[in-house]
Amino acid sequence: MLETYLVNAGTASEIAAGVEAAVSEGRLAPGALLPPVREVAAQAEVSPNTAAAAYRLLRERGVVETAGRRGTRVRPRPASTLREEIRIEVPPGVRDLSQGNPDPRLLPSLHEALAAAARAHEERPAMYGAGDDEELLALAGDRLRADGVPAAPLAITSGTLDAVERVLAAHLRPGDAIAVEDPGWTALLDLVAVLGLRPVPLRLDDEGPLPEELERALRGGVRAVVITARAQNPTGAAVSGERAAALRGVLGAHPEVLLIEDDHGSGFVDLPLHPVVGSTKRWLLTRSTAKAFGPDLRLALIAGDPVTLGRLRGRQRLAAGWVSHLLQRAVAHLWRTEAVDTAAVAAAYAERRDGLVTALAERGVTAHGRSGLNVWIPVADETTAITRLLTRGWACAPGARNRIGTPPAVRLTVSTLRPEELRTLADDVTAALRPVSGGRYG
């Protein structure tokens, strides 16, 4: 009985802590139905408002979920690991194409950049309240304006997810609906679950989310939309100019919706950016350096309307405070000196990605990968496909990590493939997978 966990619980925090402890210790099973708010209030001898606040805390922490008249239940498993748990063990000797990382050989050397940052630190060390690096902000502003992003305030965060988490937490509340790409980025789908938001899937094709899908989601009352500009994970979709115009037209009729656009493909994708942001009052565009400069150089440049940027900065000041100026100055040096030949890097990835998609098409296998590091292959059954590929010496990522309602698929990261491996891999994929036709992902 729930009253067992409510001993000496007189506040919302204490009630939530008791239930959370019972869940983590296995005394409340996944799927267990919790009593209505008024019953909890009576058991704990608190007001209904206090009991309701406790349930709200539990939802925000991803411990429980509320499904209208079906009541409040313990989540099937911790929200923070819901999709991250879906992974495979790669045996020794198997070529690992499951990780989604860039090719280390195409990342820039950081010696000069870090040395320049160290010299700047010695001359003018960053102290509390120093703010973002002015040179990096200026360089970012020039690049964003050149790509057609509306002139707007800028900020610097510790990666894309850092910015998205802060903005969603500031704008939305547990239970709010948010439109996300399906299939989509695993980390974002997990974040949506942890925040207690309700994901509304958007189907997409090689040119990005379908306008009719976005219109359906908006009519259904979503309060936020997240779109990937290019190098979409996992499909490689990239928003074309025509598609961007159509999406802006749909969004323009819903100006109060928060729009987040992820442009992590900058610096390693050869397709131009066609921004969708600016079509609503509240918007954010993120530009990460992780894929172009390396995941450990975790930094993202953020543009957005004044209200949204103000909320982001406010939450950042209360938590991390700022991004290391050593990292900021290192990125500024890499941009200023053009340390990465972006055209050459993009061409290298395109050769591997397009080569595999073409080789698979020649063998009758449908695959998608318009941009970025990955190829997405629809399959009849993910477990069978993964097992067969493992026996042939290849490890791929299960599409279940990325899917909400779209059919099964697997993801192959092509970033480290060598040209001579493409035909062998295509032969092995063809032998292992049952081809699925169709130009859309579901």
Q: Is residue 304 part of a domain?
A: yes
Q: Is residue 37 part of a domain?
A: yes
d(CA 227, CA 184): 9
What mean pLDDT comes out for the span 28-38? 87
Confidence of residue 14 (pLDDT cuts 50, 70, 90): confident
Q: Is residue 90 part of a domain?
A: no
What is the reported pLDDT for 84?
64
- What whole-number percentage of the chain has pLDDT above 70? 93
Q: Is residue 442 part of a domain?
A: no
Task: Note whether 403 and 182 are within 8 A (CB).
Answer: yes
Nearest to 275 by CA among 248, 256, 298: 248
What is the reported pLDDT for 440?
46
My answer on whether 31 and 47 are in the same domain is yes
My answer on whether 323 and 212 are in the same domain is yes
My answer on whether 131 and 189 are in the same domain is yes
What is the reported pLDDT for 98?
94
What is the reported pLDDT for 179?
98
What is the reported pLDDT for 411?
97
What mean pLDDT comes out for the span 428-440? 69
My answer on whether 18 and 39 are in the same domain is yes
Q: Is residue 85 part of a domain?
A: no
User: Is the model's pLDDT at 332 over the cut of 70?
Assistant: yes
What is the reported pLDDT for 442?
42
What is the reported pLDDT for 154?
97
Confidence of residue 77 (pLDDT cuts 50, 70, 90): low
My answer on whether 402 and 260 are in the same domain is no
User: Of 23-32, 169-178, 218-227, 354-363, which range is least confident?
Assistant: 23-32
- SS3 state at 214: helix
What is the reported pLDDT for 101?
95
Nearest to 230 by CA among 193, 285, 179: 285
Q: One-letter amino acid identity for 220?
A: G
d(CA 78, CA 344): 42
Q: Domain containing 14: what range?
A: 2-76
User: Is the model's pLDDT at 435 over the cut of 50?
Assistant: no
- SS3 state at 32: coil
Domain boundary among 336, 362, 394: 336
My answer on whether 315 and 412 are in the same domain is no
My answer on whether 34 and 69 are in the same domain is yes
d(CA 183, CA 375): 13
d(CA 152, CA 283): 10
Q: Is residue 177 part of a domain?
A: yes
What mean pLDDT comes out for the span 115-119? 95
Q: Is residue 88 part of a domain?
A: no
My answer on whether 327 and 374 are in the same domain is no
User: Of 60-74, 319-333, 350-364, 400-414, which range is least confident?
Assistant: 60-74
Q: What's the CATH code of the domain at 388?
A: 3.90.1150.10
My answer on whether 201 and 245 are in the same domain is yes
Q: How many domains does the chain have?
A: 3
Task: Note whether 413 and 374 are within 8 A (CB).
Answer: yes
d(CA 47, CA 55): 13
User: Of 16-25, 40-49, 218-227, which range is least confident?
Assistant: 16-25
Domain boundary among 292, 311, 336: 336
Higher-confidence residue of 199 and 7: namely: 199
My answer on whether 136 and 48 are in the same domain is no
Instruction: Give per-residue pLDDT as tens, 231-254.
Output: 999 999 999 999 999 999 999 999
What mean pLDDT comes out for the span 307-311? 95
Higher-confidence residue of 280 and 21: namely: 280
Q: What's the CATH code of the domain at 70?
A: 1.10.10.10
Instruction: Please compute, for residue 307, the number of CA atoms within 13 A of its CA located in the half-sphere on the CB side.
Output: 9
d(CA 216, CA 303): 27
Q: What's the CATH code of the domain at 314?
A: 3.40.640.10
My answer on whether 237 and 149 are in the same domain is yes
d(CA 209, CA 211): 6
Q: Supply the pTM of this predicted model.
A: 0.83
Domain boundary among 336, 359, 391: 336
Q: Is residue 23 part of a domain?
A: yes
Structure tokens at 155: 């900020």
What is the chain's mean pLDDT, rounded? 90
Helices then strands (H, E): number in the chain?
15, 17
Handedness of CA 136, 275, 158, 154 (dihedral sign): positive
My answer on whether 178 and 296 are in the same domain is yes
User: Is the model's pLDDT at 321 over the cut of 90?
Assistant: no
